[in-house]
């Protein structure tokens, strides 16, 4: 346990940020999972709809400072490539 006042405050802030970051990270992961499940099922319409939702959630995580913009770009590229593979078939 911290002894100094500033260390106690930093501990509280770190815990608050951890919960906040975890919330947005989980939202991103779940959104990506929905897209990949739709792709695996071969459902083009659902995959496209979930792709838009996932890209929106990922962009919001970047704005909130939870995810780096290059990481977000890589994840969006990955899921859009999967959805595009459905339309090429």
Q: Is the pLDDT of residue 1 over 60?
A: yes
Q: Enter the pTM of the model.
A: 0.87
Domains of the chain: total? 1
Contact of 27 with 61, CB cutoff 8 Å: yes
Q: Is a pLDDT exceeding 80 seen at residue 69?
A: yes
Mean pLDDT, residues 51-76: 97
User: What is the per-residue pLDDT across 5-48, written as a single tens digit (0 to 9) for each?
Assistant: 999 999 999 999 999 999 999 999 999 999 999 999 999 999 99
**Of how many residues is the chain composed?**
89
Q: Is a pLDDT exceeding 80 seen at residue 74? A: yes
User: How confident is the model at residue 89, as a pLDDT?
Assistant: 57
**Which residues span the domain enclosing 27?**
5-88
Written in H, E and C, the secondary structure of the chain is CCCCHHHHHHHHHHHHHHHHHHHHHHHHHHHHHHHHHHHHHCCHHHHHHHHHHHHHHHHHHHHCCCCCHHHHHHHHHHHHHHHHHHHHC
Q: What is the CATH number of the domain that holds 26?
A: 1.20.58.110
Short-list 63, 64, 67, 65, CA closest to 29: 67
């Amino acid at each position: 346990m911290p002894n100094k006042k500033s260390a106690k405050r930093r501990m509280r802030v770190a815990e608050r940020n951890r919960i906040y970051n975890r919330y947005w990270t989980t939202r991103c992961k779940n959104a990506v999972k929905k897209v990949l499940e739709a792709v695996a099922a071969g459902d083009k319409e659902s995959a496209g709809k979930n792709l838009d939702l996932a890209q929106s959630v990922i962009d919001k995580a970047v704005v909130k400072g939870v995810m780096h913009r290059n990481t977000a770009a890589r994840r969006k590229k990955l899921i859009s490539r999967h959805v595009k593979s459905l339309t090429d078939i």
